[in-house]
């Protein structure tokens, strides 16, 4: 029995079944490489799901956390606040889009950030309704689940969702949903289901994560901004997965030139340490009563130290530009592969910066999803030493999230592995047919 198989047996006996896992039991990692319990090497194109944007164990982050650990590891900001939290808030206030006064609160997870953003919007507007979009993912807490635009596995079996959460269609060019159609449906929602004067907030991902790396049309985001302003609705940008230089800008909303009222962030914020934030208009953030937001672990000192170091690394190492360089390399290779005879299963290739995906279909005419082929590609890649992830509301999208510090020779090595995995998986599908 291998060490990995032994760990799997122990995991099956001790860990909740609902916690999904892969068969890779990590032993150590460095930058874009990870080694499992049996010594197998992998190139990590998952990055902890867009967390390790500066790679595993970036020296600057490790040094910052070690220095903080020498001072103190936890005080609870409510009990004994500290300078690092205040400094990070100042930096996020300055960095997020929008020429207006801002404030920040720190939390621990992306779902917490979303929940608190909704609380702030409700407190500020005195309203309760929230609009999200099809294909959205905003977390696994109760409000997060309600906001999600994907049933399985996030809502399935968990009973009634909170009331006054509405969904509008997210524009999707590949599947023929235009921004105009989405806006028309939003207007229909306002006329048939809910008065816009009852809506506290609209929340949208500029690039959908779990939904399939669908990129929001920039004109559509501008239209949402106009609608929100017209009706006094708080516009929330969920930058949990797309933020922190992942798309070639610090925040993906910057590509559209749109400033949301509130921005939620997590994942890449602290480069591997649990931290999230809500940053936005000071009057909205301050609408919550004293003691109404926060948490025991919110703004943990070690994670805050890592986040301050992460912002330094993004700037000093030019990770926004690096994301664009890596993304261009990957997109060009995927487009070339998709153009080859026999690769018609690749229906679409899309991405922004180093947030890249390709969608698998049974044929390019019907564009019917091929979830089985998607899982086969992921498994083939893993067997060959590359970690990639599936996503999409229909389970037929492969997403690539390389660390932004990945050496270009490893990017090319990963793409060679991916091409081989694609060829093998497609061949198996053809043989089975």
DSSP per-residue letters across 325-354: HHHHHHHHHHHHHHTSTT-TTEEEEEEETT
8 A C-beta contact, residue 310 and residue 269: yes
The answer to whether 205 and 253 have CB atoms below 8 angstroms apart is no
Structure-block tokens of residue 365: 């005419």
With contact defined as beta carbons under 8 Å apart, do 267 and 25 qualify? Answer: no
Residue 159: its pLDDT value, please? 87
CATH 3.40.50.720 fits 61-316, yes or no: no
Confidence of residue 180 (pLDDT cuts 50, 70, 90): very high
CA dihedral 364, 330, 401, 30 (to 10 degrees): 150
Q: H/E element holding 93? A: helix 83-95
Q: How far apart are CA 278 and CA 299, in angstroms?
A: 11
Q: Is the pLDDT of residue 89 over 70?
A: yes
pLDDT of residue 85: 98
Residue 160 pLDDT > 90: no
Q: Among residues 170, 181, 172, 165, which one has the least CA distance to residue 131?
A: 165
Least Cα distance to 327 among 359, 358, 352, 357 occurs for 352
Query: Hey, where are the domains in the chain?
Result: 3-54+319-432, 61-316
Q: What is the pLDDT of residue 433?
A: 62
Q: How many CB atoms lie within 10 A of CB 235?
A: 24
Q: Which residues pair with 104 in a beta bridge?
A: 279
H/E segment holding residue 89: helix 83-95
Q: pLDDT per residue over 293-329, tens digit each? A: 999 999 999 999 999 999 999 999 999 999 999 999 9
Output phi, psi for 237, to 5 deg. Answer: -95, 115
C-alpha span between 56 and 22 (Å, rounded):
18
Q: Are 258 and 97 in contact (CB under 8 A)?
A: yes
Residues 29-44 as b/e (b if ≥16 CB within 10 A, e otherwise) read bebbbbebbeebebbb
Question: What count of residues does the chain have?
Answer: 433
pLDDT greater than 90 at residue 155: no
Residue 150 tokens read as: 């994907």
C-alpha pair distances (Å), 170 with each of 180, 215, 421? 11, 9, 31
Nearby residues of 415 by Cβ (< 8 Å), 6 or more positions away = 329, 330, 333
Tokens for 68, please give them: 């903080």
* pLDDT at site 430: 76
Asked if residue 312 lies in contact with residue 326, where contact means CB atoms within 8 angstroms, the answer is no
Tens digit of pLDDT for each residue in 322-366? 999 999 999 999 999 999 999 999 999 999 999 999 999 999 999
The tokens describing 370, both together, are: 């091929």
Average pLDDT of the chain, as a whole number:
97
Q: Which residues contact 153 (CB under 8 A, 6 or more apart)?
A: 20
Q: Which helix (H) or strand (E) holds 104?
A: strand 102-107
- Distance from C-alpha of 309 to C-alpha of 271, rounded to nearest angstrom: 9
What per-residue confidence (pLDDT) applies to 150? 85
Residue 7: burial class (beta carbons within 10 Å; 0-12, 13-18, 19+): middle
- Residue 273, pLDDT > 70, answer yes
- Tokens for 341? 């005879």
* DSSP labels, 131-167: EEETT----SSHHHHHH-S--TTTTTTS-PPPSSEEE
The mean pLDDT value for 164-174 works out to: 96
Angle at 371 between CA 342 and CA 159, to 5 degrees: 165
Give the pLDDT confidence of 383-430 residue by residue, as tens digits: 999 999 999 999 999 999 999 999 999 999 999 999 999 999 999 987
pLDDT tens digit sequence for 63-72: 999 999 999 9
CATH of domain 3-54+319-432: 3.90.1150.10
């Amino acid at each position: 029995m291998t060490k990995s198989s032994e760990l799997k047996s122990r995991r099956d006996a001790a860990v909740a079944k609902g916690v999904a896992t892969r068969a890779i039991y990590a032993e150590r990692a460095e930058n874009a490489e990870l080694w499992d319990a049996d010594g197998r090497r992998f190139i990590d194109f998952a990055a902890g799901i867009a967390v390790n944007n500066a790679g595993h164990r970036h020296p600057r982050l490790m040094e910052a956390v070690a220095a903080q650990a020498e001072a103190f590891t936890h005080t609870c900001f409510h009990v004994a606040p500290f300078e690092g939290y205040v400094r990070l808030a100042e930096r996020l206030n300055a960095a997020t889009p929008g020429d207006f006064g801002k404030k920040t609160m720190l939390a621990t997870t992306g779902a917490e950030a979303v929940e608190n953003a909704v609380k702030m919007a409700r407190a500020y507007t005195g309203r309760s309704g929230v609009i999200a979009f099809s294909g959205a993912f905003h977390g696994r807490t109760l409000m997060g689940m309600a906001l999600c635009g994907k049933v399985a596995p996030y809502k399935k079996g968990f009973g009634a969702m909170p009331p006054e959460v509405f969904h509008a269609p997210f524009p999707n060019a590949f599947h023929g949903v235009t921004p105009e159609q989405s806006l028309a449906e939003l207007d229909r929602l306002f006329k048939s289901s809910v008065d816009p004067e009852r809506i506290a907030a609209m929340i949208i991902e500029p690039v959908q994560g779990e939904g399939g790396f669908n990129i929001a049309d920039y004109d559509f985001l501008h239209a949402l901004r106009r609608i929100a302003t017209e009706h006094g609705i708080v516009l929330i940008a969920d930058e949990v997965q797309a933020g922190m230089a992942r798309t070639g800008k610090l925040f993906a909303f910057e590509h559209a030139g749109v400033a949301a009222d509130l921005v939620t962030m997590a994942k890449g914020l602290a480069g591997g340490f649990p931290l999230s934030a809500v940053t936005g208009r000071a009057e909205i953030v301050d609408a919550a009563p004293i003691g109404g937001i926060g948490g025991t672990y919110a703004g943990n000192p070690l994670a805050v130290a890592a986040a301050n170091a992460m912002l330094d690394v993004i700037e000093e190492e030019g990770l926004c530009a690096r994301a664009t360089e890596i993304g261009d390399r990957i997109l060009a290779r995927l487009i070339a592969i998709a153009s080859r005879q026999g690769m018609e299963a690749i229906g679409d290739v899309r991405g922004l910066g180093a947030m890249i995906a390709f969608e698998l279909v049974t044929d390019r005419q019907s564009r019917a999803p091929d979830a089985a082929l998607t899982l086969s590609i992921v498994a083939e890649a893993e067997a060959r030493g590359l970690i990639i992830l599936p996503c999409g509301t229909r389970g037929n999208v492969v997403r690539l999230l390389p660390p932004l510090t990945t050496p270009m020779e490893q990017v090319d090595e990963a793409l060679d592995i991916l091409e081989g995995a694609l060829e093998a998986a497609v061949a198996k599908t053809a043989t089975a047919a």
